[in-house]
Amino acid sequence: VQLPTLLDPNFRVKDFGPGITKQRMYDIVLSYGKSTKRDDNLQIGGMGLGMKSPWALTSSFTITSIVDGVKSIYTAYIDETKIGKLALLEESSTDEPNGTEVCVPIDIHNIPKIEQYAVSVSEFWDVKPIIKNVAYYTSYNREEKPKILFSGTNWFVPEDSKLHHPQILIGKIPYNV
């Protein structure tokens, strides 16, 4: 994960998985309500919204995917009809490893919010990321595991969430209630 900075105001997420084929890319980006995680209760997601979430911040973003020596670069954008579209910009041979990168341009006024959110969303993770080279940094609020008010399968409500705005943790990701 690369957080945006004033010199590079893009939020980037990159993995080194198998990459996303051309047909699957169109299915993932343009299909709502279906997900590769639909039948897996151990993964977060399953609503088919993850790859569409950058549209909450911008009208276009890029996706680069490498599958078996072929690098494909796409732009995902909202057209004049307000419907999401996907365009293949470039396809080339590469010796880079398989994987996918999503690059989302961020308005520079939102950079501090993105940095703060990166800290808060990972606060309950067992292994916390080290956040470097950012203008704003809030340390994690807790070093030990939170006390639990209520819990269920793969979710819990931390005791201190009643102090500010109530939150529920699902898969160790906090969501405001």
Higher pLDDT, 165 or 74: 74
Range in 60-64, 69-73, 74-78, 114-118 with the lowest mean pLDDT: 114-118
Q: Give the whole-angstrom CA distance, residue 61 versus residue 41.
A: 29
pLDDT at 97: 97
CB atoms near residue 148 (< 10 Å): 11
Give the pair of three-digit tokens for residue 25.
């890319």
Tell me the three-class secondary structure of the chain, residue by residue.
CECCCCCCCEEEEEECCCCCCHHHHHHHHHCCCCCCCCCCCCCCCCCCCHHHHHHHCCCEEEEEEEECCEEEEEEEEECCCCCEEEEEEEEEECCCCCEEEEEEECCHHHHHHHHHHHHHHCCCCCCCCCCCCCCCCCCCCCCCCCCEEEEECCEEEEHHHHCCCCEEEECCEEEEC
> Phi/psi zone of residue 135: left (φ > 0), alpha (ψ -120 to 50 degrees), beta?
alpha
pLDDT, tens only, 147-168: 777 777 666 676 765 555 667 7
pLDDT, tens only, 17-28: 999 999 899 988
